[in-house]
Structure 1
């Protein structure tokens, strides 16, 4: 099963240096030493009543997606380590199917979907495991109000997806920062009804996360922070689906190419992203076409409308 992560040092070459101390290879999701483990994606609630989150610091990657009403949800991807519990968990969307295609056949934990979307999830290359298929892996927290009180026991969930794909290359590269960039210690990402602020902390060597003007924290790990933040500009269009109140669900297109901004080490780097198809990974390059290395550690990818 997945293990905790250890620190590592950069070779200065901008390339991975092979096996790390203890013989462990680097995670393709974080660049840190990790045992190979199955991929688990979890749809996380992100409105005010759902905060603070639990277990989010264990995620390798946090994707932020727009949902109905201009709000956001987080798709947390885990493999390197698993927290005892994670949440709150909410419903999946059509966008998740396209986004998760690059992970092989991962497990997906979510609270449910509207009935018209069920056939799409069933046919997708993933193990869709909502509470109805794994009741022992979910529980309600009595100290919170529904629907913001559903939590996941990740290890139990993976027991219901024993053949889930293990972590593999999805296009990320880790190592020394590229030349250039510009000093930027604060950056704001806005959605129609949600805001994220990232502030560089030299002491922590991470970007501290704030959501809607308040410092983001977890119940089990303190302040939420990322080693690398990617602002990926994508097409966000209406889908064929609506929520229970009739609002159109946006579809976030993650296949294609476009502009991006990569934040690492207190600097901002202009970048381009490219993904050729649903089963392919996403590459990030400098304007000159060279791979743009991320800083090792948790990666946040903000999927924002062009």
Structure 2
């Protein structure tokens, strides 16, 4: 019988990436705001994981760590404490899948180089910028020798909302730099699978195991950090219970899920990124509740260890 596992992962997207999503100038951010993910968010997340007694996986962006001794030190300390550090690409280019195969390979290589220099260990997992995957990017993950990928996000409401926001920003002549994925992602498996290398949102015989983010069965509502921290608790609990039949629960967060306006984030960005209006203390308490649910119901492991245990069963 397959083990019942859960993993908690955090995308360490720094605030400039949110300016790019919302079509805002990065000049809004001072040096302190640009560094909030590593100076403030990661310590809060590590403290929360330690309090609940569960491990975690951090998806770091090479560009944010390269040349930043403080960020590299934060990752080094996290790795030494047992936190997995995985790759979220080097440039976090939302259009990475539209680049040439050589450019994609080089981006992943640079990320691995920076993260290995910071932690002393080469990343074993990868998450695509904007969750967008295609054959060329999947081939690059195989070439890099990753044990797993965690990019598939078959969440219908999320896809529709993203399309609507991108359309509205285009009409305002403030275009987002995000990229809308192929609609094929909406039919991707909800549970871990070996992808078809030519069509990575379908099952096949690929060499890198895919661990999709958890979405609620049927409606495919995304069970991610924004949902957990902003919706009424009864709705979160109902969605959680609906996923109880899944062998694997993959809870994905972002660093901003533990930040708020009081951390020194420009009001222009807070107006666009509405979850930043929720006090960080309240968000941390909600995350603590959900982490405790996972710990009570499942074995909580890093994504690397989940891949190791699930691979023989998929």
Same fold (TM over 0.5): no
More helix per residue: 1 or 2? 2
More strand per residue: 1 or 2? 1
TM-score (norm. length: structure 2): 0.30
